[in-house]
Structure 1
Amino acid sequence: MAQPSYKQFCPVAMASEILCTRWTLILLRELMAGSSRFNDLRRGVPKMSPTLLSQRLKELEESGVIERVAIKSEPNLFEYILTESGRDLQSVIDTVGQWGQRWVESRLSLRNLDPSLLMWDMRRNLDTTPLPKKRCVIQFLYQELPVSKKHWWLVIEPDGETDLCWADPGFDVDLFVTTNVKTMTAIWMGVDTVSDAMKDDTLVLVGSTAIADSMQSWLGLSPFAATERRVP
């Protein structure tokens, strides 16, 4: 069902009719982070139904924010690409994210824990520069989760290509990371650090000393982790 119009000529009202529907800003965040295929977008918004995702993509396309482009190598598949109008929203998404990091109480954010989304974001933002120039395999073990969601693997190839696996990829593991989802999410958000979590025994690293020592550097943190927090 179409969003009711605010019936105001104000540009804020007109922009809100496009941008302030449920999930739209989150979907734009994913598009700006580099996701362009439907299944990749779904991984970035796992709580959003496929039907609603399709609807929001169609609405953004009709508004000129994105365009749907056939993939040359796979003509039956499509990518969703930001137009000039869509790219111009980058500063809007950045400002909203920075405001949320600065002013929203972190305890509220840390109620919404999702290991699959966390690992997807970490994989996407990983900095491979500090890692050895070889295949590196890092296994995460979330102690409190059921077996089906407990184990995750990041496989980083020498060229920087990174895969996220939820089934054992069969490679030797260079670093075992044992923690809980809340601690790892807090580190990803910039609320906690690797060294402090290790001191609190909520993060245990076993394996390559070089990879463990540089974890704070290579770990894929939130783009807003560096924003100064002002919430008491």
Structure 2
Amino acid sequence: MGASYHQFCPVAKAMELLDERWTLLVVRELVSGSERFNELRRGLPRMSPTLLSRRLHQLVRAGVVERHVDGVDVRYVPTQAGRELRPVLEALGAWGVRWIGELGDADLDPKLLLWDMHRHVDHRAVPRGRTVVHFRFRDVPAGFRDWWLVINSGEADVCDVDPGHGVTVTVHADLRTLVQVWLGDLSWPAALRGGAVEIAGPEVLRRALPRWFTLSEFAAVPRPPTPV
């Protein structure tokens, strides 16, 4: 745990564990369903593996996470204490949507966006069989421009290299615009009308694609009134 605040206040005691850098984001990934180290790394692409290991060890020691080992398979599973942090994270995220200012360019990460999107696929809406969505971000450096979301049999995976399957539809987008759509600041129709997002493929699939995703859980958070 971090240094003590030497206060009996329960908020202070909780923050001795939770306010160290990256800790709450690790918990965010865990309560969102990531259990294995590589899954956690994909949801925290800018966190060093060494620091991730350290934070997981701290959370296990604090009783927030359990480490399950089955041969070479190691999973990190939230305990009841960890699961009870979900509404805390939801409230913190909703507050951030309402009161934190515009995202900077450094905050926009295609890897994190696609990782979040793959957890919000509405498999009932996606065509049967394998569906491959190719995302091409026009305003991103070449090495990070192309991503593939492979959806099949109730599962979805994110690829940063061509998986070799036929592409069902291609989404051409400005990264910032697609993040705005994902967070609920811009609707799919508005993004498509403005041309910042374009979908290439058969017409029936182009029209259906927005329904394949349920959007971020923060998309429905009411925004504060705009000052007159």
Same fold (TM over 0.5): yes
Q: What secondary structure does 2:177 align onto?
A: helix
Please, what TM-score do these two structures have when normalized by structure 1? 0.92
For 2:54, the equivalent position in structure 1 comes to 55
Report the CA distance shift for 1:26/1:91 in structure 2 as closer, same or farther (over 3 A): same
After TM superposition, the structure 1 stretch with the greater mean CA deviation from structure 2, 140-149 or 193-202, is: 140-149
For 1:16, the equivalent position in structure 2 comes to 15
Q: Deviations over 1:23-67 (max 9, x none)?
A: 111111100110011111011111111111111111111110001
**Shift, 1:210, TM fit:** 2.6
Say whether 1:91 aligns with 2:87: yes
For 2:134, the equivalent position in structure 1 comes to 139
Q: Which amino acid aligns with 2:81?
A: S
Larger RCO, structure (CA 8 Å, separation 6 or more):
1
In the alignment, the residues of structure 2 paired with residue 172 and residue 46 of structure 1 have an alpha-carbon distance, to the nearest angstrom, of: 27
After TM superposition, the structure 1 stretch with the greater mean CA deviation from structure 2, 123-132 or 182-191, is: 123-132
For 2:163, the equivalent position in structure 1 comes to 169
Report the CA distance shift for 1:164/1:220 in structure 2 as closer, same or farther (over 3 A): farther
In the alignment, the residues of structure 2 paired with residue 181 and residue 89 of structure 1 have an alpha-carbon distance, to the nearest angstrom, of: 30
| 8 Å contact from structure 1 (residues 131, 211) kept in 2 | no
| Percent of residue pairs bearing the same amino acid type | 42
| 8 Å contact from structure 1 (residues 104, 231) kept in 2 | no
Q: Which runs of 5+ in 2 are unaligned?
A: none
Report the CA distance shift for 1:76/1:174 in structure 2 as closer, same or farther (over 3 A): closer
Q: Deviations over 1:182-230 (max 9, x none)?
A: 1111111111121101111101111132332123221252111111111
Report the CA distance shift for 1:20/1:146 in structure 2 as closer, same or farther (over 3 A): same
Report the CA distance shift for 1:165/1:177 in structure 2 as closer, same or farther (over 3 A): same
In the alignment, the residues of structure 1 paired with residue 202 and residue 117 of structure 2 have an alpha-carbon distance, to the nearest angstrom, of: 19
Provide the aligned length of Structure 1 versus Structure 2.
226
| 8 Å contact from structure 1 (residues 103, 231) kept in 2 | no
Q: Which runs of 5+ in 1 are unaligned?
A: none
For 2:38, the equivalent position in structure 1 comes to 39
Say whether 1:29 aligns with 2:24: no
Instruction: Specify which of 91, 99, 119 is matched with residue 114 of structure 2.
Output: 119
In the alignment, the residues of structure 1 paired with residue 4 and residue 138 of structure 2 have an alpha-carbon distance, to the nearest angstrom, of: 48
After TM superposition, the structure 1 stretch with the greater mean CA deviation from structure 2, 214-223 or 11-20, is: 214-223
Q: Which amino acid aligns with 2:108?
A: L
Say whether 1:179 aligns with 2:178: no
Report the CA distance shift for 1:39/1:55 in structure 2 as closer, same or farther (over 3 A): same
Please, what TM-score do these two structures have when normalized by structure 2? 0.93
Q: Which amino acid aligns with 2:157?
A: D
Q: Which amino acid aligns with 1:28?
A: V
**Shift, 1:70, TM fit:** 0.4
